[in-house]
Amino acid sequence: MVRHRSVPRPAVLTPGAATSHFCPVLLDASSQDGSRDLEALAASSAVSAVHDTIEDQLDELIRCEDPAVAHSTDSLAAARRRLCGETPLWRWGTWVFYPWNGRLVHVLAREDFQRVRTDRNRDKIDRAQQRDLRERRIGVVGLSVGNSAAVTLAMEGVGGSFRLADFDTLGLSNLNRLRAGVDDLGVSKAVLAARQMFEIDPYLDIEVFTDGLTEESIGEFFDGPDGTLDLLVEECDTVWAKVAAREYARSRGIPVLMDANDRGLLDVERFDLEPHRPLFHGRIGGSTSADVAKMNRDERLSFLLEVVDESRLSSAMREAIGEIGRSLSSWPQLASGVMLGGALVADTARRILLGELIESGRTYIDLDELVPATDFAPEFVREMEEVR
């Protein structure tokens, strides 16, 4: 397990930083130490590009403070001078260094950054709600399907602290559904998600568990030094971890969300409201994580099919089950379904964390049913042929 700490020193310039690091370095150029470190970093070979749009960001800050004012170029310049005083623009805000790509980026200070970055959320999420959401801790287990959920949560400002767990690394076959590039192949999926989230918001607090959830790490994942999780997103394939995560969540009153990536199935378990609720809505009876640990491969597959309700799977998924390990290497998944799942999880997480009563249960957002394909009438087909 690797835990993020923003380190404002040139310790990031060690060999291998481009592949091993997942957290940015934040430098405050208004301080003497920060200015010295920034100058040393900018002069080093570690920086591949400098991206400074602080003037544009300040203009956005000025406009969102008072949207009713129609600013001119001159009035914006005057407003910037009033805001910054005698401080040179290069010493304003924060410089962020991303060691995995060598980019040095200039952004607004934390509060101003948050205000501008989430300004277009209003009034779907008001200022008080945004502040509330930034105080929340969210855990995500499984960073293939979970990557979409984690990145969407970060984009929307749902959660300020995250714990990400996945033991796997990015493979070429993951690129059919996971937003990444070929230069990310071989990178830990948890590290990849953390990098993507930090590139959206460098002020996040993120811990990564690159061994996934294990008996040794699961306690720290739920009860880290910064406090217990407020919500869990579970998207892992390991059956033991699926069950153990819910056992921990139930014992701590933590709601759990899961997108099954088939027929738009969103699963909600409100252990925060129902402390004795059976796991998976009672579908596994009294089975525990200790029981699951003793199962063989076929038993685990049967267990999973019971969890997701085999009878309600899509026809394509039902047909695929018998081919896994024969003509198929694993469960079939599509990027569109993964993106939909990320949206469903993020939207539901936001509403739960803001106090809306979302009940336990399962909802299907099945696009094949909502946007059905139909057979064209013969007359329409003839007309189209005549047009061609």
Q: Which residues of 264-285 are buried (b: 16+ CB within 10 A; e: fewer)?
A: bbbbbbbbbeeeebebbeeebe
Please report the pLDDT score of residue 382 as a whole number: 73
Q: What's the chain's average pLDDT?
A: 90
In degrees to the nearest 10, what's the CA dihedral of 249, 287, 283, 273? -30
Confidence of residue 381 (pLDDT cuts 50, 70, 90): low
Give the residue-averaged pLDDT of 360-386. Answer: 84
> How many other C-beta atoms can be found within 10 angstroms of the C-beta atom of residue 90?
14
Q: Please say whether the dihedral angle defined by the alpha carbons of residues 163, 169, 175 and 176, taken in this order, is positive or negative.
A: negative
Residue 10's pLDDT is 37
Instruction: Please report the DSSP string for 192-260 in residue order.
Output: HHHHHHHHH-TT-EEEEETT-S-TTTHHHHHEETTEE-SEEEE--S-HHHHHHHHHHHHHHT--EEEE-
Return d(Cα 363, Cα 267) in angstroms, integer.
7
**How much is the pLDDT for 7?**
38
Q: Which of 20-24, 88-92, 112-116, 182-186 bottoms out in mean pLDDT, i.e. has the lowest?
A: 20-24
| 387 pLDDT more than 90 | no
pLDDT of 177 over the 60 cut:
yes
Give residues with Cβ within 8 angstroms of 171, minimum separation 6.
Answer: 185
| Sequence ranges of the domains in the chain | 7-117, 127-286+333-370
Count CB-CB contacts under 10 A for residue 242.
Answer: 25
CA 331 to chain centre: 22
Highest mean pLDDT among 248-252, 304-308, 322-326, 378-382: 248-252
Decide if pLDDT at 376 tops 80: no
Q: Is 141 helix (H, G, I), strand (E, B) or coil?
A: strand
- What are 298-341's pLDDT values in tens digits? 899 899 889 988 899 998 888 887 777 778 777 788 999 999 99
pLDDT of residue 380: 67
| Confidence (pTM) | 0.91
pLDDT tier at 383, thresholds 50, 70, 90: confident
127-286+333-370 CATH fold: Rossmann fold (3.40.50)
- The pLDDT of residue 352: 98
**pLDDT, greater one: 380 or 209:** 209
For position 193, what pLDDT does the model report? 97
Backbone angles phi, psi at 144, to 5 degrees: -95, -80
Which has the higher per-residue pLDDT, 367 or 6?
A: 367
- For 33, residues 6+ apart whose C-beta sits below 8 A from its C-beta are 8
pLDDT at position 13: 35
Judged against a pLDDT cut of 70, whether residue 26 lies above it is answered with yes
Residue 108 has pLDDT above 50, yes or no: yes
Supply 101's token pair: 């790509």
pLDDT, mean of residues 346-374: 95
Q: How many helices (H) and strands (E) does the chain have?
A: 16, 14
pLDDT of residue 360: 98
What token pair was written down for 152?
A: 């969407």
pLDDT of residue 20: 56
With tokens 């290497």, the residue in question is 329
Say if CB 193 and CB 146 are below 8 A apart: yes
DSSP one-letter string for 300-363: HHHHHHHHHTGGGS-HHHHHHHTTBTTTBSS----HHHHHHHHHHHHHHHHHHHTT--PPSEEE
Is the pLDDT at 187 greater than 70? The verdict is yes
The reported pLDDT for the residue numbered 319 is 84
What 3-state class would DSSP assign to 78? Answer: helix
Q: Is the peptide bond before 368 cis (omega within 30 degrees of 0)?
A: no
Least confident of 89-93, 132-136, 229-233, 384-388: 384-388
Output the pLDDT for position 145: 87
